[in-house]
Structure 1
Amino acid sequence: MCNHKEIDVPPTVPATGTFRVQALAPDTAAKASEILQDNHDNYHIYIHDLGLHNFQDPAKFKECLGQGIYYDDYFAYFQNEIGKHGVPNTVNKFHSGGDEMAEDMLRRFFSGFLLSPIHFGYAIELDQPLIVAEALALTAVHDSHFGEVLTEIEAAAKTSDGAESLINLQQEIYSNQKLRETMKFDHGVFQVRYGQVAHAKDDFMQVMVRWKVKPEDLQEKTAKCLNYTVYWTSLAERAEKQIRFDFFLMHSVTSGSLWPVINSAPWISTKTKCRLMEWKGRADLILYNQTGPPCPKSEELVAYQPQIPSGRDEVFQRACEYEDDGHLAKLIRGIATTAQVSKEYPQKASFMLKSDEEFLKIAHMSELSLVSMHRSLLLTLYPPVIDSAEQFNQDSADREREIICKKYSHAGEMSIEIQRVSARWSRHVGFEQSWFHVPSRKSNGSSHL
Structure 2
Amino acid sequence: MASATNLDLLSTRNRGEVHVENISQEAADRVNHIVHHLLAIYALGATPGEIQRAYDLNVRYQLPIHENAPKISGDMRDPDIFQTYTGMPKHYKDYLKFFTHEVCEKGIAATLNEYLFKNDERANDMLARLYDGLLHSFIHLGYGVEFQQPLIVVEALAQAAITERWLEDTCDLVTQHKSSHKYSGDPSVLSLYSNLHHDPVIYSAVRPNDPPNKLRDGLIARAKHAIIPYLAQFTVRPDQLEKKAAELANCSLYVAASAQRPGKIEMFDFFLMHSVNASIWLSVFLKQEWISDELKCKLVELKGWSDLVTYSACRTPELYPDRALQYQPKQPGDWRSIFRRARCYNDDGHAAKFIRSIRNIEQISERFAGTAGFPLQQQQYLTIAHMVMDSVERMNSPDYSLPPQATFVFGINTEVLRIMFRWVRWNGLDEAWDHVPDIGKTARL
Distance 2:220 2:94 in 1: 34
1:67 to partner: Cα distance: 1.1
Distance 2:62 2:99 in 1: 16
Q: Which residue of 1 aligns with 2:385?
A: 363
Of 127, 130, 135 in structure 1, the residue corresponding to residue 151 of structure 2 is 130
Are 2:254 and 1:231 equivalent residues in the alignment? yes
Of 156, 181, 184 in structure 1, the residue corresponding to residue 207 of structure 2 is 184
Of 60, 67, 75 in structure 2, the residue corresponding to residue 49 of structure 1 is 67
Where 1:187 maps in the other structure, the secondary structure is coil
1:293 to partner: Cα distance: 1.7
Q: Which residue of 2 aligns with 1:2?
A: 2
Where 1:320 maps in the other structure, the secondary structure is helix
Distance 1:417 1:305 in 2: 29
Q: Any stretches of 5+ residues in structure 1 without a counterpart?
A: 365-383, 445-449
Q: Deviations over 1:394-449 (max 9, x none)?
A: 2675322xx2333x3xx2242111111000011101101111111111079xxxxx
Query: How well do the aligned residues superpose, as a CA RMSD in angstroms?
Result: 2.7
1:77 to partner: Cα distance: 0.6
Distance 2:347 2:215 in 1: 30
Q: Which residue of 2 aligns with 1:392?
A: 395
Percent identity of the aligned residues? 30
Contact 1:237 1:244 survives alignment (8 Å): yes
**Map of 1:127-206 to 2, 5 A cutoff?**
127-146=148-167, 148-158=169-179, 159-161=181-183, 163-188=186-211, 190-200=213-223, 203-206=226-229
Distance 1:35 1:439 in 2: 31
1:55 to partner: Cα distance: 6.6
1:236 to partner: Cα distance: 0.9
Distance 1:295 1:305, change over 3 A: closer
1:339 to partner: Cα distance: 0.5
1:14 to partner: Cα distance: 6.2
Letter in 1 for 2:157: L
Q: Any stretches of 5+ residues in structure 2 without a counterpart?
A: 39-51
Distance 1:300 1:328 in 2: 19
Q: Which residue of 2 aligns with 1:429?
A: 427
Contact 1:50 1:70 survives alignment (8 Å): no
Distance 1:154 1:23 in 2: 45
1:62 to partner: Cα distance: 1.7
**Map of 1:215-230 to 2, 5 A cutoff?**
215-230=238-253
Letter in 2 for 1:359: Y
**Map of 1:296-311 to 2, 5 A cutoff?**
296-298=319-321, 303-311=326-334
Where 2:31 maps in the other structure, the secondary structure is helix
Where 1:113 maps in the other structure, the secondary structure is helix
More relative contact order, 1 or 2 (CA 8 Å, 6+ apart):
2
Contact 1:9 1:33 survives alignment (8 Å): no
Letter in 2 for 1:430: G
The count of residues paired between Structure 1 and Structure 2 equals 417
- Judge which range, 325-334 or 200-209, deviates more: 200-209
Q: Which residue of 2 aligns with 1:249?
A: 272
Q: Deviations over 1:271-307 (max 9, x none)?
A: 1110011010011000000112211123687655422
- Judge which range, 289-298 or 304-313, deviates more: 304-313
Distance 1:55 1:120, change over 3 A: farther
Where 1:185 maps in the other structure, the secondary structure is coil
Distance 2:32 2:219 in 1: 44
Where 1:350 maps in the other structure, the secondary structure is coil
Distance 1:27 1:46 in 2: 28
Contact 2:214 2:313 survives alignment (8 Å): yes
